[in-house]
Structure 1
């Protein structure tokens, strides 16, 4: 066996051991359930507008994801404040600026947020695809979920020292995305509950809900609270793009998300 072949074999063994190690951690975390969940109070919600600055996100038909997400995120925050005056809303950005993915979670952690909501627009080469999806951090169920995560995670390539910040993570590597999918946090169940409420509200306003899904999103990885990423619609679809850019569409989306937060708040605070 050549030296090169030996090195590749050793590398594969080390990679397998690394994944196995984190799989064991993941199982332990998944079995953990925070105590006294009914004593939880939702006091602070962080709303994250995806992309920004030199990271424009997906672009189709003159529409830029970073602009659409900012507009929707600001409306989500205002609607949350209107429905729940006792809840403080914090934005990761309220202008067109670039915020690194790890810093978005960092903002939520430093503010001791009770919920983290990241707002995005989806895209697909098949322009006829449309509808909403809400994600939590977790294992990939389909190749489609992984592709969405890879696209959103690729923004880290625009960051300085990204390999150090994300421990060598390569957003273009399927193995790396699978590896990070093992890093599920202790709030997975709550995140899925909130995600389900968001999709239920989208159905109420006659949106095409593509369901609740799980994928290894870097923006959710380091958050220390229930966290979701909402794909509000496909900017690649002409009709849905027009809806996402419209004032009426953005207000409908914001109202739906805020109502889901209100429902979640009542549930975890054991209110009727």
Structure 2
């Protein structure tokens, strides 16, 4: 029992420190959103037959931000990257924290068997399936491209299931609103964009780990599926995906601010 307590103690300390940070927020207004285009530069992310995740994610992320800036001018939009550059995972959350963001949205593309298709949106949490763990391992393996990753990520091993379990216990203070926004995103994809939704899922994802606000990682589709790769590289497809995320953001903002 003592060993279990010692194992969980770092996560519990983080949870409660995050909870106290949450209490400092004075109201429910959504003033600042950070939009994160996954991967970049030498980190291609996953690849399809003719495209790379880093490029598709950036195009969608810029469109989402543009829609928010045009239609909700009271919201400050901050990007972790606006070009083909590499940003370490720890710095992506750092950008959000430094700017006191109210929501962090990380945009990605998925990888899997050629027959796999559909969208899914992740929040931090305990992975409940081998599939969720595989997504977490793939996204978290980016840290192996970073110098000094063991020091930056407290010894986290992206190949260790135990590391992912411990990681998933964190960010609990923001879980409700993370799940709320994630559900709105998947609802938009399924009912407005006519995409196949694979649902809202949870996993230990480093990019969401240290973000002191509600945070989600959106997998917009599978580049390894030929039809989805075409859709995700089509300007209309990218616009539909971006519009769905924007409408979910607008709905989330209105619902949250109505509780003030």
After TM superposition, the score normalised by the length of structure 1 is 0.89
Report the Cα offset of residue 62 of structure 1.
1.7
149 and 65 in structure 1: CA distance in 2 versus 1, 3 angstrom threshold: same
Unaligned runs of 5+ in 2: none
Is 1:199 the counterpart of 2:186? The answer is yes
Aligned position for 2:204 = 216
36 and 180 in structure 1: CA distance in 2 versus 1, 3 angstrom threshold: closer
User: After TM superposition, which residue ranges in structure 1, 4 or more long, deviate above 2 angstroms?
Assistant: 13-39
Report the Cα offset of residue 82 of structure 1.
2.0
29 and 144 in structure 1: CA distance in 2 versus 1, 3 angstrom threshold: farther
132 and 32 in structure 1: CA distance in 2 versus 1, 3 angstrom threshold: farther
CA distance in 1, matches of 2:19, 2:36: 28
Kindly report which structure 2 residues correspond to 1:48-59, keeping only aligned pairs within 5 A, or say none: 48-59=36-47
Larger Rg: 1
Deviations 1:204-235 (A, max 9, x none): 21100000011110000000111000000011
SS of residue paired to 2:109: strand
Aligned position for 2:52 = 64
Is 1:93 the counterpart of 2:92? The answer is no
Report the Cα offset of residue 160 of structure 1.
0.6
CA distance in 1, matches of 2:7, 2:33: 33
Unaligned runs of 5+ in 1: 1-12
Aligned position for 2:121 = 134
45 and 127 in structure 1: CA distance in 2 versus 1, 3 angstrom threshold: same
Deviations 1:120-171 (A, max 9, x none): 00100x2101000001111111111111001000000000100000011010
| Residue 123 of structure 1, aligned match among 104, 111, 132 | 111
After TM superposition, the score normalised by the length of structure 2 is 0.93
| Residue 158 of structure 1, aligned match among 130, 142, 145 | 145
Aligned position for 2:169 = 182
CA distance in 1, matches of 2:203, 2:17: 16
Aligned position for 1:3 = none
Aligned position for 2:231 = 243
